Structure 1
Amino acid sequence: MTATVPAAEFDALLLDLDGTVYLGGQVIEHVGEALAAARELGSRPMYVTNNASRPPAEVAAALTAMGVPATDEEVLTSPEAAATMLADTHPAGSAVLVIGAPWLATAVQDAGLVPVRTAAEGPVALVQGHSPDTGWVNLAEGCIALRSGIDWVACNVDSTLPTDRGLLPGNGSMVAALVAATGLTPRVAGKPASPLLDEAVRRAGSSNPLVVGDRLDTDIEAGCTAGYPALLVLTGVSTAQDLVSAPEHQRPTHVSLDMRGLIDAGRVVDLRSADTSAWTAVTADGAVTLARSGGAPAAHDQDDRSRDAEALHALAAVVVAAWAGGSTRVVAADDDTAAVLARAGLTADR
């Protein structure tokens, strides 16, 4: 291992869950081994989730059952970050109107505040998190309370929630209803805002954290907002093409095909200093054209690790050129180059 391995360089890993650690209730391949090795290298995992309905103990137990050992202290949920924001703003013992699951009310209470459920109880703030039981009556209480001028914190503004039945309305959809009804805008605790990550860093005692996630618009944007390096793993929502076209506020510092990039220098690329000398990426006529540099050997007859490393460096060459030149269309100079990019999940024109 060398200092170029993220787990040896960063003292904490701020890990997303769905699409990063597990997918569809199943742990993603290589995750358990990679995180165990990362611990050995001194990088502490902190699981940071926008999910507002489950307490850390439940999340930790679920992870452990999947073969990814985790303690309650290594899980941070958006209700905890939201409660911290409220406690930092309002005196202990203040009433806070809770719209959300029981865990959100518990987080508010644990922060030294008093959870209430009606506007008539004189809340100084409203905190809103996802619950499948939220209905018109709850939103009406929130509307009344907000019109009195109180503070408003949303655990997250995710418009949808992934389920085994597909995407369903998330907390952001409920928040949007109150935005429409009041014309007000909440402070936000969860990703892509920075409070959730900042609280995870504080709890981990970290001085050099790395954000790890599969979504550019939540995980990576949160890292950019907070000013932390971020690793995009291509195991979930965001694709290689999304990376090529990522706006500046959603650009990771690192990319890997999967979580093995945390512990294997051949399976991760630092986009700030990637060696792309094996490739020539030329931007012209609204496209980035990639070709193998003269004399650069192909990895076709080598092992999977070598082919993955080749694909990542080819992807890095495209990404660096696209970000510099503003082009998002990718052209492969030949079938060989197209096949290499396809291994990284990027379909190129010919």
Structure 2
Amino acid sequence: MSGTLLDGHDVVLFDLDGTVFRGGELVPGALEAVREVHRRGVAVRYVTNNASKPDQAVADHLTGLGLPAERAEVSTSAQAGAAVLAEKLPAGSRVLVVGSAALVSEVDKAGLVPVSDFADDPVAVVQGLSTDIAYRDLAEACLAIRAGALWVASNGDRTLPTERGLMPGNGSLVALLRAATDQEPLVAGKPERPLLDRAVSSARAESPLMVGDRLDTDIAGAVNAGMPSLMVLTGVNTPADLLGAPPEMRPDHVAADLRGLLQAPAEVAIAAQDGWQVRVDDDGLELAGSDQQSDALAALRSLCSAWWATSSGPVAVRGADEHAKAALRELGLA
């Protein structure tokens, strides 16, 4: 296959939750798309802000869903968080870990000493998501941070997509400690660069492409790292979120799912699309459809292109004809 979005890239960085799978289910198109990436010899890295599982468990989970994955293909925010600590602390430093056994293991592998009590005199706190976190864990971390300990968060995701819906993410617990300490953590995961830089380096790549469903982590991370990105509409953010996105959260391409990787770049690029006309006026945006075969996602790309060229933030959108009105209803923009 030639002439696809994959052309010119030597590694694809896939977000996981909401992009490749939702809990125990692959999202539509994921298997087909990732298999084609492998078939074409392009490296794959699964970059996840979820710090609750070790890399091998993530690879096993993907394999169990029918998508074979190698441990080396997985980059987690737990690994990135431990790496940030190792860069800033002497070997053997005590680190209070608020998170899963996977995060404890990464801290240990980084040459640091994991502890769980303020009484152990930690010089740093690292925080990642675990469903077993209790008030005591957060209280110990609060005391350490207030005493001057370096605070590193694996990620700031406020929510976590699952097959049951959105659940509280690590960012929600980070917000609790932020309120209790009046301090800000260093963030290792997306949208900050450590996780993405580590993934690209591990693949020895030079032309990465980031793919994800969240504007504030996946896409903002790509913007921060200076790499192109593809947003898929299988997870957290919606077409309305995309249209109103600020410049620091704008992808280069948008598709319904990962099969967008197999389309021509022009077909998924956020740009004016054949069959749709967009007019910007004082009342917002007016969409008109001249081709009944043009789909709603092409309309979304045209709308984003027109609006982002003139302004940003939420905007009212109206349809000039029945075809346009139907597209807006499908996109949730009516």
Q: TM-score, normalised by structure 2?
A: 0.92
CA contact (8 A) 2:272 2:305 kept: no
Residue in 1 aligned with 2:115? 116
Taking the aligned partners of 1:262 and 1:123, their CA distance within structure 2 comes to 45
Q: Which amino acid aligns with 2:243?
A: V
Measure, in 1, the Cα distance between the counterparts of 2:296 and 2:55.
Answer: 37
SS in structure 2 at match of 1:92: coil
Provide the residue aligned with 1:281 in structure 2: 278
Distance verdict in 2 for CA 1:335–1:266, change over 3 Å: farther
Q: 1:212-223 residue pairs with structure 2 within 5 A? A: 212-223=211-222
Distance, in Å, in 1 between the alignment partners of 2:319 and 2:97 is 53
The CA distance in 2 between the partners of 1:166 and 1:262, in whole Å, is 26
Query: Secondary structure of the residue that 1:280 maps to in structure 2?
Result: strand
**% identity of equivalent residues:** 48
> How many Å apart are 1:99 and its aligned residue?
1.2
Aligned to 1:158: 157
- Aligned ranges for residues 259-274 of structure 1 at < 5 Å? 259-265=258-264, 268-271=267-270, 274=271
Residue pair 1:256, 1:268 contacting (<8 A) in 2 also: no
CA distance in 1, matches of 2:115, 2:332: 52
Q: Which has the higher contact order (CA 8 A, sep 6+)?
A: 2
Alpha carbons of 1:11 and 1:89: their partners in 2 closer, same or farther (altered >3 Å)?
same
Whole-angstrom CA distance in 2 between matches of 1:163 and 1:263? 26
Q: Deviations over 1:283-311 (max 9, x none)?
A: 01232112245xxx542xxxxxxx5xx44
Q: Tell me whether 1:332 sits opposite 2:319 in the alignment.
A: yes
Alignment of 1:246 with 2:245, yes or no, is yes
- How far did 1:132 drift? 2.1
Q: Partner letter of residue 315 of structure 1?
A: L
SS at match of 1:18: coil
| Stretch of structure 1 that moved more, 233-242 or 106-115 | 233-242
For the Cα contact (< 8 Å) 1:161–1:167, is it kept in 2?
A: yes
Query: What is residue 287 of structure 2 aligned with on the other side?
Result: 290
Equivalent pairs, count: 332
2:240–2:333 contact (8 Å) kept in structure 1 = no
Q: Deviations over 1:42-94 (max 9, x none)?
A: 32221111111111111111111112111111111111000010111112222
Q: Shift of residue 178 of structure 1?
A: 2.0
Equivalent residue number for residue 195 of structure 1: 194
Counterparts of 1:301-312 in structure 2 under 5 Å?
Answer: 310-312=295-297
- Whether the 8 Å contact between 1:257 and 1:267 is mirrored in structure 2 is no
- How do 1:60-99 residues align onto structure 2 when only pairs under 5 Å count? 60-99=59-98
In structure 2, relative to structure 1, the CA distance for the partners of 1:115 and 1:192 (3 Å cut) is same
Decide whether the 8 Å contact of 1:99 with 1:128 is kept in 2. yes
> Post-superposition shift, 1:163?
4.6
RMSD between aligned alpha carbons? Answer: 2.1
TM-score between both structures, scaled by the size of structure 1 = 0.88
- Say whether 1:320 aligns with 2:305: yes
Q: How far apart are 1:194 and its partner, in Å?
A: 2.2
The secondary structure found in structure 2 opposite 1:7 is coil
Unaligned runs of 5+ in 1: 300-306
1:346 to 321, 331, 334: 331
Once structures 1 and 2 are overlaid, which stretch shifts more, 327-336 or 28-37? 327-336
Q: Distance in 2 between matches of 1:38 and 1:164?
A: 25
Unaligned runs of 5+ in 2: none
Task: State the match for 2:256 in structure 1.
Answer: 257
